[in-house]
Amino acid sequence: MQAVTISFADNGSLALRESAVPPVGSRDIKIRVHASGINRADLLQRRGLYPPPPGVPAEIPGLECAGEVCEVGSDVSLFRPGERVMALLPGAGQAQYAVVDSELAMPVPVHLSWAEAAAIPEAFATAYDALFHHARLQPGETILIHAVGSGVGTAALQLSAFAGAGAIYGTTSRAKLGKAKELGLTCGIDYHSEEFAQTIAAREPQGVHVIIDLIGASYWQQNIACLSSGGRLVLLGLLGGAKLPANTTITPILSKRLTIIGTVLRSRRLDEKVLLLRELRRTLCPLFAGQRLKPVVDRTFAAEEVAEAYRYVESKQNFGKVVLLWQ
Ligand SMILES: NC(=O)c1ccc[n+]([C@@H]2O[C@H](COP(=O)([O-])OP(=O)(O)OC[C@H]3O[C@@H](n4cnc5c(N)ncnc54)[C@H](OP(=O)(O)O)[C@@H]3O)[C@@H](O)[C@H]2O)c1
């Protein structure tokens, strides 16, 4: 099969190369992939900074894909050959075939294209888990979502609106604010020209109940200032760095009784992912089928254009997801 392949010896260059199709275990399905999502994590993997879990090839990126089941293992009852699925993968999803535990796949609603389906698993699984398992967002609660125009951010925004959050705040660059408002954002903050903590202080004097943070260190002090008493911060990414200034105080964690939670989806045990995906098949899939949630695809590229597609994501122009399409 053809697979996107990182050449670590050549500065992380990307090309399509021939690779062996992985064997199908008794719990697995083999997917003839039609579309593969690109995630910011793939950019890190390419630079050798985000290696996949053991047993997953480091040189083939891809945390999600959509396609047709073409083979099932002897113990699989969830899917049959010919069914349309989208799957959460520990890696190697940017290839013509992907082999994955059947429990990590979800059925694709009929109205969704392959590109739309491939834009769902990683962003929505991450956002759902962060909002409802970790932040325990309640109807009416206020929330601040950083990088709200990212794949994960656009998913968190839609899920927060659907869950009946109170005011939803989000940081992103100016060009993305209008599109975020169409998805339910109450108030967008252009982080290039505004200190978000000032905007939140003016509009929510008690602070926000929940922050979904993809940025990390550079936002830490403003985040802590913005949280209400009893507030919850879920840290999902470190786009703004990992090191806090030496004089950083943690007193407000105590005085405001804050909960700070960090979480990563990819490195979790299979049984933990299986539980999450079972829940998503029950809760999220009907919402996509009923068109109450929609995958946000910014742009698609042919698989052969993979280097350009990665450059586009790196340039931060995308609102929502960028997807590779396979012939
Ligand atoms: N913990 C987990 O399980 C998990 C799972 C999935 C993703 N993540 C993390 O979530 C983050 C978003 O992933 P994604 O794939 O959704 O991203 P994405 O679609 O590539 O979007 C990232 C966006 O973040 C914004 N941004 C703000 N500050 C930035 C900075 N300092 N550097 C780069 N971008 C910055 C940029 O948009 P604007 O500048 O226009 O706002 C950029 O387009 C990543 O850190 C990723 O590693 C974590």
Q: Does the Cβ of 263 fall within 6 Å of ligand 1?
A: yes
Domain 2-120+268-325: which CATH number of 3.90.180.10, 1.25.40.20, 3.30.420.40, 1.10.1660.10: 3.90.180.10
Domain 124-262 annotated CATH 3.30.1300.10: no
pLDDT digits (tens, 9 = 90+) for 112-146: 999 999 999 999 999 999 999 999 999 999 999 99
Strand order in the sheet with 143-145: 187-190, 168-172, 143-145, 208-213, 227-235, 259-262
Nearest ligand 1 atom, CA 262:
1
- Cα of 66 to ligand 1 centre, how many Å? 22
**What are the residue ranges spanned by the domains of the chain?**
2-120+268-325, 124-262
pLDDT digits (tens, 9 = 90+) for 65-96: 999 999 999 999 999 999 999 999 999 999 99
Residue 41 tokens, joined:
């994590």
- Nearest-CA residue for ligand 1 atom 37 is 316
- The ranges of the chain with pLDDT < 70 are none
pLDDT digits (tens, 9 = 90+) for 186-208: 999 999 999 999 999 999 999 99
The pLDDT value recorded for residue 247 is: 92
Nearest by Cα to 316 from 300, 298, 302? 298
Pocket test for ligand 1, best of 146, 214, 312, 315 (most atoms within 8 A of CB): 214
| Pairing label, strands 259-262, 297-302 | unpaired
- What are the residue ranges of helices labelled H in the chain? 40-46, 114-118, 121-128, 151-162, 174-182, 196-203, 220-226, 251-255, 270-289, 306-314
| Pairing label, strands 143-145, 168-172 | parallel
Nearest by Cα to 227 from 191, 252, 199? 252
Nearest ligand 1 atom, CA 237:
45
Residue partners of 57: CB distance under 8 A and separation at least 6: 19, 91, 92
The residue type at 244: L
Radius of gyration of the chain (CA): 20
Q: Residue 4 CA to chain centroid, in angstroms? A: 20
Q: What's the predicted TM-score (pTM) here? A: 0.98
- Nearest-CA residue for ligand 1 atom 18 is 150
Tell me, what DSSP letter sits at residue 201? H
How many CB atoms are located within 10 Å of the residue 248 CB? 11
The pLDDT value recorded for residue 193 is: 97
The pLDDT value recorded for residue 53 is: 92
- Cα of 71 to ligand 1 centre, how many Å? 34
Q: What is the DSSP string of 223-275?
A: HHHHEEEEEEEEE---TT-S---TT---HHHHHTT-EEEE--STTS-HHHHHH
88 with 62: CB under 8 angstroms? no
- Please return the burial class of 158, using the count of CB atoms within 10 Å of its CB with bins 0-12, 13-18 and 19+: buried
d(CA 109, CA 224): 40
Mean pLDDT of the chain: 98
The pLDDT value recorded for residue 109 is: 98
**Residue located via tokens 């998913």:** 155
**Residue located via tokens 């009893």:** 230
